């Protein structure tokens, strides 16, 4: 049947947001993989999130073709059954996408923090969020028996052990709360880390935009009560579907934005000052020795700038094998000692914890 009601609007909003998410995910992965070479678990989780979002959009388009977004009185009974069944599959998919998106943000922060209790807090949010996401996904089809009775009024319902509306209310509320937490948490944990101020501001401000995702979650949650009060399910859930997609998209954009600075610099080109500074750094050939353990790319690589190791604090610096008279020259010039052959010196810097 032709599209009608809120169906066309739903398709337009979901499709535009999926394209926007795809652009940010692609730029993020390119920056991490090609420019910085530091792809991590948060990147793969975000890619998986987008695939679920794309599948959700495809399912909602199919449901809209059969009548999603329209009033029940305007649709045939056969179309109602098909549209409802497809929408339930879409709700299952987007529930998983929501959990994965929040997990991706938390895993991104895991790459930066080193304090144990910070990790414990983040894992608490990850586990609880994914638990509610999985429970909501399962409830879409496990709420009543037999399962077919959920979308086919011709089949008599035997029992409904799970209340989908209540579970959705709790999950959506928890998701919104996690959005606000992830928006505020970086300001508390990053400000005292050994990172460039610019990087701290970039990460904190970008993730703070997650407040808007939380607002979308609140609006979505406030509209769930109507689901248990109306039989016009396909029309009543249209707004909730659009707010869900908006919350998911904002989360993807917020966690992708801090990573894109190297890509931006590559597009606009480095300034001559940046280039000469980089050449000067390489000519000095100073080796820095920090805490002794095998280096891991995820320790220092956030696909922003290369950030100094945050786990080396209160360091002292000792220069070994250098001529104090030439220490301020910043060069590696050849010197002549006691009329002997020309020799070359190299400066080493050792950093150690007190």
Instruction: For residue 200, give every residue at least 6 positions away whose Cβ sits within 8 Å of its Cβ, in sequence order, or none.
Output: 190, 191, 193
pLDDT score for 347: 60
- Asked if 211 and 302 sit in the same domain, the reply is no
- Asked if 243 and 299 sit in the same domain, the reply is no
Choose one of 266, 300, 327: the last residue of a domain. 266
pLDDT in tens, the chain (354 residues): 568 889 999 999 999 999 999 999 999 999 888 887 778 888 999 999 999 999 999 999 999 999 999 998 889 999 999 999 999 999 999 999 999 999 999 998 888 777 888 899 999 999 999 999 999 999 989 988 899 988 888 888 888 888 888 898 899 899 999 989 988 888 877 766 666 777 777 777 878 887 888 888 888 887 777 666 667 888 988 998 999 999 999 999 988 888 888 888 888 875 434 444 444 443 333 333 333 334 444 443 444 443 344 444 444 444 434 444 444 444 444 444 444 555 555 565 555 554
124: in domain:
yes
Choose one of 266, 293, 323: the last residue of a domain. 266
- Asked if 176 and 57 sit in the same domain, the reply is yes
pLDDT score for 281: 41
Domain count, the chain: 2
56: in domain:
yes
**Residue from 258, 260, 297, 290 nearest 109 by CA:** 258
272: in domain:
no
**Residue from 3, 23, 17 nearest 257 by CA:** 23
pLDDT score for 24: 94
- Asked if 262 and 285 sit in the same domain, the reply is no
- Asked if 325 and 254 sit in the same domain, the reply is no
What CATH number corresponds to the domain at position 101?
Answer: 1.20.1070
- Asked if 235 and 259 sit in the same domain, the reply is yes
Instruction: For residue 86, give every residue at least 6 positions away whose Cβ sits within 8 Å of its Cβ, in sequence order, or none.
Output: 59, 60, 62, 63, 66, 68
**DSSP for residue 38:** -
Q: Give dist(CA 266, CA 253) in Å, integer.
A: 20
The three-class DSSP label of residue 330 is coil
276: in domain:
no
pLDDT score for 313: 44
- Asked if 149 and 289 sit in the same domain, the reply is no
pLDDT score for 74: 87
- Asked if 125 and 148 sit in the same domain, the reply is yes
CB distance 249 to 17 below 8 Å: yes
Tell me the H-state helices in the chain: 7-30, 41-65, 77-110, 116-142, 164-190, 197-208, 210-222, 233-236, 238-256, 261-268, 272-284, 297-300
185: in domain:
yes
- Asked if 149 and 52 sit in the same domain, the reply is yes
Choose one of 220, 241, 266: the last residue of a domain. 266
pTM of the model: 0.73
287: in domain:
yes
117: in domain:
yes
- Asked if 292 and 238 sit in the same domain, the reply is no
- Asked if 177 and 299 sit in the same domain, the reply is no
**Number of residues that make up the chain:** 354
300: in domain:
yes
Residue range(s) defining the domain that contains residue 331? 281-352
- Asked if 209 and 326 sit in the same domain, the reply is no
* 352 membership: H or E segment, kind and range: strand 348-352
């Amino acid at each position: 049947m032709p599209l009608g009601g809120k169906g066309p609007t739903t398709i337009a909003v979901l499709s535009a947001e999926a394209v926007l998410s795809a652009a940010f995910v692609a730029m993020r992965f390119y920056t991490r993989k090609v420019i910085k070479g530091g792809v991590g678990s948060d990147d793969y989780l975000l890619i998986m999130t987008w695939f679920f979002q794309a599948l959700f959009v495809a399912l909602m388009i199919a449901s809209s073709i059969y009548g999603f977004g329209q009033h029940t009185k305007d649709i045939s009974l056969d179309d109602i059954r098909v549209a409802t069944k497809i929408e339930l599959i879409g709700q299952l998919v987007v529930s998983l996408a929501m959990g994965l998106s929040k997990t991706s943000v938390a895993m991104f922060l895991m790459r930066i923090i080193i304090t144990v209790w910070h990790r414990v807090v983040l894992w608490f949010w990850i586990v609880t969020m994914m638990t509610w996401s999985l429970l909501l996904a399962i409830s879409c089809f496990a709420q009543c028996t037999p399962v077919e009775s959920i979308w086919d009024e011709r089949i008599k319902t035997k029992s409904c052990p799970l209340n989908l509306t209540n579970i959705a209310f709790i999950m959506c509320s928890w998701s919104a709360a996690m959005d606000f937490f992830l928006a505020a948490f970086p300001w508390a944990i990053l400000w005292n880390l050994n990172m460039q101020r610019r990087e701290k501001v970039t990460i904190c401000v970008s993730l703070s935009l997650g407040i808007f995702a939380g607002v979308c979650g609140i609006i979505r949650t406030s509209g769930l009560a109507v689901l248990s009060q109306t039989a016009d399910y396909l029309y009543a859930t249209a707004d909730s579907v659009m707010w869900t997609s908006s919350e998911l998209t904002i989360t993807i954009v917020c966690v992708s934005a801090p990573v894109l600075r190297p890509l931006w610099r590559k597009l606009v080109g480095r300034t001559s000052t940046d280039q000469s500074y980089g050449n000067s750094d390489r000519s000095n050939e100073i080796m820095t020795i920090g805490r002794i353990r095998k280096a891991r790319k995820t320790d220092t690589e956030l696909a922003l700038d290369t950030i100094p190791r945050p786990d080396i604090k209160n360091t002292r610096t000792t220069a070994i094998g250098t001529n104090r008279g030439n220490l301020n020259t910043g060069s590696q010039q050849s010197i002549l000692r006691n009329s002997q052959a020309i020799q070359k010196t190299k400066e080493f810097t050792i950093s150690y914890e007190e």
